[in-house]
């Protein structure tokens, strides 16, 4: 196991940011930590990387007690935190070089890796530019790239794709996939379900400092992600709408102000076709219609609700 925690807690005054987390993460895998803003993702990363001490609980990283031996742990891990960190006056090339020197990487390896990373992270055009002259997305790419200048057994990445355009995002995810294939263990936080699904072997869903589920992306998705939300906006207010649609079973239908129909279902297409045929039969005109995957936020809310209900 690369990471083992037991009853991990971190409080800030009255606020419990990490509320009793148990993790067992195997080596050579990408482990996703998926949760909305404020869920406790960054706090967990800071605990696991020994940057802050826990209020209570145990942390074992690569077989080491991280609370007793933080320095030994830090030598073997890489960390890309959520906060931007860069030296404004250094060029992209020099930042990578300097980071390599900090990690005692020999000169030849430093040079080879700098060239490789500049290539992989598509930094050729900005390699001589100063960090302060880069866009946020470019800075983020440099910040992630430089972490690969040194060897490590375990890498922590805190929402590394925020600010990247879709091409750069996909590029980074594929690069990480390859690294994992070569044996690197990666702990990856995100609030984007599709990203976790694409990259991770296993995902923990976290909310309010607690893990709600740990599973493979396939299984999580089939449990929580199939649902769509369909919204139909009618031209006129129809009083008898709930009555007309009462025969449709197997889903939740909400009516807003008598002019909106909101359907949440994992069989949204089937339900939609039933709703449409009833509207057409009754000559009810539609002004607007949209269908989209139920957002992660809504899935979370549902999970939390189910959790609360089962606790009562």
Ligand X SMILES: Nc1ncnc2c1ncn2[C@@H]1O[C@H](COP(=O)(O)OP(=O)(O)O)[C@@H](O)[C@H]1O
Interface residues with ligand X (CB under 6 A)?
12, 15, 17, 35, 37-43
Minimum gap (Å) between residue 10 Cβ and ligand X: 8
Minimum gap (Å) between residue 212 Cβ and ligand X: 13
Query: Which residue, 171, 165, 157, 155, is CA-closest to 80?
Result: 157
Q: Return the number of the residue (10 or 41) whose C-beta is nearest Mg ion.
A: 41
Minimum gap (Å) between residue 177 Cβ and Mg ion: 22
The interface partner of residue 161, options being ligand X, Mg ion, none and the CB cut-off 5 to 8 Å by kind, is: none
Query: What is the DSSP pairing of strand 154-158 with strand 77-80?
Result: parallel
Count of residues that interact with Mg ion, criterion CB under 5 A: 3
Helix axes 107-120, 136-147, angle to 10 degrees: 140
207 binds Mg ion (CB under 5 A): no
Cβ–Cβ < 8 Å for 114, 97: yes
DSSP 91: B
The interface partner of residue 172, options being Mg ion, ligand X, none and the CB cut-off 5 to 8 Å by kind, is: none
Q: Return the number of the residue (11 or 82) whose C-beta is nearest Mg ion.
A: 82
Sheet-wide strand order for 15-25: 15-25, 3-12, 56-61, 64-65
Site string for Mg ion, 30-49 (x = CB under 5 A): -----------xx-------
CB proximity list for 51: less than 8 A, separation 6 or greater: 79, 81
Minimum gap (Å) between residue 54 Cβ and ligand X: 13
Minimum gap (Å) between residue 248 Cβ and ligand X: 38
Q: Return the number of the residue (17 or 199) whose C-beta is nearest ligand X.
A: 17
Count the alpha carbons within 13 Å of 236 in the hemisphere toward its beta carbon.
Answer: 8
Q: Return the number of the residue (41 or 146) whose C-beta is nearest ligand X.
A: 41
What token pair was written down for 142?
């440099």
CA distance readout (Å), 245 to 59, 153, 231: 54, 57, 14
Query: What is the DSSP pairing of strand 228-234 with strand 210-215?
Result: unpaired
The interface partner of residue 12, options being ligand X, Mg ion, none and the CB cut-off 5 to 8 Å by kind, is: ligand X
- Positions that interact with Mg ion (CB under 5 A): 41-42, 82
């Amino acid at each position: 196991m690369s990471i083992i925690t037991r009853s991990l807690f971190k409080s800030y005054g009255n606020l419990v940011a990490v509320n009793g987390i148990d993790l067992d993460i195997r080596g050579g895998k990408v482990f996703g930590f998926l949760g909305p803003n404020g869920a406790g993702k960054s706090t967990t990363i800071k605990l696991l990387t020994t940057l802050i001490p826990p209020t209570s609980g145990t942390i074992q990283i690569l077989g080491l007690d991280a609370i007793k031996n933080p320095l030994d742990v830090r030598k073997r891990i890489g960390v890309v935190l959520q906060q931007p960190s860069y030296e404004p006056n250094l060029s992209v090339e020099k930042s990578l070089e300097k980071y390599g020197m900090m990690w005692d990487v020999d000169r030849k390896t430093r040079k080879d890796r700098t060239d490789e990373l500049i290539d992989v992270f598509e930094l050729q055009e900005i390699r001589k530019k100063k960090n302060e002259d880069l866009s946020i997305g470019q800075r983020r790419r440099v910040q992630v790239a430089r972490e690969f200048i040194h060897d490590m057994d375990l890498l922590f990445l805190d929402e590394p794709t925020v600010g990247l355009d879709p091409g750069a995002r996909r590029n980074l995810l594929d690069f990480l996939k390859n690294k994992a294939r070569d044996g690197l263990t990666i702990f990856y936080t995100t609030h984007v379900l599709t990203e976790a699904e694409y990259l991770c072997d296993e995902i923990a869903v976290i909310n309010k400092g607690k893990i709600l589920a740990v599973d493979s992306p396939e299984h999580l998705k089939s449990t929580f992600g199939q649902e769509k939300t369909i919204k139909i906006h009618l031209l006129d207010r129809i009083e008898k709408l709930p009555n007309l649609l009462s025969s449709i079973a197997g889903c939740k239908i909400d009516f807003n102000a008598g002019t909106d129909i909101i359907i949440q279902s994992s069989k949204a297409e089937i339900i939609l076709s039933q709703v449409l045929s009833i509207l057409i039969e009754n000559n009810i005109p539609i002004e607007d219609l949209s269908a989209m995957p139920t957002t992660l936020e809504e899935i979370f809310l549902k999970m939390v609700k189910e959790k609360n209900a089962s606790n009562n």
